[in-house]
Amino acid sequence: MKRKYVIPIFVPHLGCPNDCIFCNQKSISGQKTNMTKEKAKDIIDNYLKSIKVQNSQIEIAFYGGSFTAIDEKIQNELLELANTYIKEGKVESIRISTRPDYITKEILKRLKKYNVKTIELGVQSASDYILKRSNRGHTFEDVKKASKLIRWNGFILGHQMMVGLPESTRKDEIETAKKLIKLKPKMVRIYPVLVVKNTKLEKEYEEGIYKPLPLAQAIETCKELVRMFANKKIDIIRVGLQNTDEITKPGSEKSEVVAGPYHPAFRQLVESSMWYDAIVEKIKKLNVKVQEVQVTVNPTDVNNVIGHKKENVLKLKDYYDVDLIINQDEKVKQGKSKIDITKVYKDFKEENSAEDKEKNKIKV
């Protein structure tokens, strides 16, 4: 199977006419100047040097959130450049991310000409009130129209939503996920709101108007959203902003983040917590005193079952006095598991004397 690679190119929208409350485009992209064809070429060539093109599926991704809203001449130059790599057989596809109110039939026709395959829309919320409160400058109706146009014109549709926008509640966010699912995206990104320097949100935060979501609450909501999208087989391609020199722990050198539920392994916290819930649910269902649980998972899930810094193992021991044994099995699908209660307290003496000889078991 071919390995997938994404060559990310951040295209900031300097001079963007919109004024989203959370946005400081320069901080998010880690870039202070506009993207040019020459700079993009350097980025692509440097990436390609480190990738074996024959065995890879390579995508050029123009991130930044408002690609089709930037100067059309720059868009076309960048797309033409990316398309050259497709024609040369070095790259397979192009992806862009943009605003829902900058999608029209004409724009899509132009994107098609340059072989763009995937379009991600910055939705953020399905509530018009919250969109207005966040100065997004578009409505959910724009999202619906754009999503339909994108799919009808044969592109792959992606959505990005935020958790913790001003005045947004967990219920609003779950409602957003429900409405997005109806629009049939192939993939989603979920971003908990961080307060970034030099944004309107920072001002509201300093004035005590905006209270960021605590990390634990952001994890709880994201868990629910991940479950909802996963149940509908929608790929969850990101949970939490990408860690960069600027998007890092508030207070650390160069950090542009002032406050909010930042964690370098945010997605792992969400996924580990979901595994923890599944294990605890199993324990609670049994009318016995559980002493040991064996979870059989695909090797790629082992770290999430253990939890960040062994959090799940320690919590299970602290709260339930339960030992966690992890069994790796390639045959178990990623994300799936078999959870067995392997020791209960009434069997303690007999079980304790039996030696565990299965080499795949990891005692954590």
27, 29, 31, 66: residue in contact with ligand SF4 (rule CB under 6 A): 66
Q: Based on the shown chain and the rule CB under 6 A, indicate whether residue 16 belongs to the binding site for ligand SF4.
A: yes
Task: Please state, as a whole number, how many other Cβ atoms lie within 10 Å of the Cβ of residue 308.
Answer: 17
The residues in 76-95 that bind ligand SF4, with binding defined as CB under 6 A, are none
CB of 297 to ligand SF4, least distance (A): 38
13, 179, 315, 343: residue in contact with ligand SF4 (rule CB under 6 A): 13
- Contact string (CB under 6 A) for ligand SF4, positions 98-117, x = contact: -x------------------
Whether the CB-CB separation of 40 and 10 falls below 8 Å is answered with: no
Q: Based on the shown chain and the rule CB under 6 A, indicate whether residue 96 belongs to the binding site for ligand SF4.
A: no
CB of 138 to ligand SF4, least distance (A): 9
8, 18, 148, 323: residue in contact with ligand SF4 (rule CB under 6 A): 18
Give the burial class of 145: count Cβ atoms within 10 A of its Cβ; 0-12 exposed, 13-18 middle, 19 or more buried.
middle
Helical H runs in 135-191? 140-152, 170-182
Q: Based on the shown chain and the rule CB under 6 A, indicate whether residue 23 belongs to the binding site for ligand SF4.
A: yes
Q: How many residues bind ligand SF4 (CB under 6 A)?
A: 10
Q: Based on the shown chain and the rule CB under 6 A, indicate whether residue 31 belongs to the binding site for ligand SF4.
A: no
> If we measure between CA atoms, which residue out of 138, 112, 105 comes closest to residue 124?
138
CB of 65 to ligand SF4, least distance (A): 4
The beta strand positions in the chain, using DSSP E, are 3-10, 56-63, 93-98, 116-124, 156-163, 187-192, 195-196, 235-239, 257-259, 290-297, 323-328, 337-344, 361-363
User: Within 13 Å, how many C-alpha atoms sit on residue 120's CB side?
Assistant: 23
- Among the listed ranges 16-24, 83-91, 177-185, 304-312, the one in contact with ligand SF4 (CB under 6 A) is 16-24
Q: Based on the shown chain and the rule CB under 6 A, indicate whether residue 19 belongs to the binding site for ligand SF4.
A: yes
Q: What is the identity of the amino acid at 362?
A: I
Q: Based on the shown chain and the rule CB under 6 A, indicate whether residue 223 belongs to the binding site for ligand SF4.
A: no
Q: Based on the shown chain and the rule CB under 6 A, indicate whether residue 65 belongs to the binding site for ligand SF4.
A: yes
CB of 363 to ligand SF4, least distance (A): 47
Task: Return d(Cα 168, Cα 134) in angstroms, integer.
Answer: 10
Whether the CB-CB separation of 201 and 250 falls below 8 Å is answered with: no
Q: What is the identity of the amino acid at 58?
A: I
Whether the CB-CB separation of 312 and 305 falls below 8 Å is answered with: yes
Whether the CB-CB separation of 361 and 327 falls below 8 Å is answered with: yes
Q: Based on the shown chain and the rule CB under 6 A, indicate whether residue 343 belongs to the binding site for ligand SF4.
A: no
7, 9, 10, 25: residue in contact with ligand SF4 (rule CB under 6 A): 25
Q: Based on the shown chain and the rule CB under 6 A, indicate whether residue 138 belongs to the binding site for ligand SF4.
A: no
Query: What does the block give as tokens for 165?
Result: 């926008």
184 three-class SS: coil
Whether the CB-CB separation of 271 and 236 falls below 8 Å is answered with: no
- Among the listed ranges 10-18, 39-47, 229-237, 316-324, the one in contact with ligand SF4 (CB under 6 A) is 10-18
Task: Return d(Cα 205, Cα 334) in angstroms, integer.
Answer: 40
Q: Based on the shown chain and the rule CB under 6 A, indicate whether residue 34 belongs to the binding site for ligand SF4.
A: no
- Among the listed ranges 11-19, 71-79, 150-158, 273-281, the one in contact with ligand SF4 (CB under 6 A) is 11-19
Between 35 and 226, CB nearer to ligand SF4: 35
Q: Where does this chain bind ligand SF4 (CB under 6 A)? A: 13, 16, 18-20, 23, 25, 65-66, 99
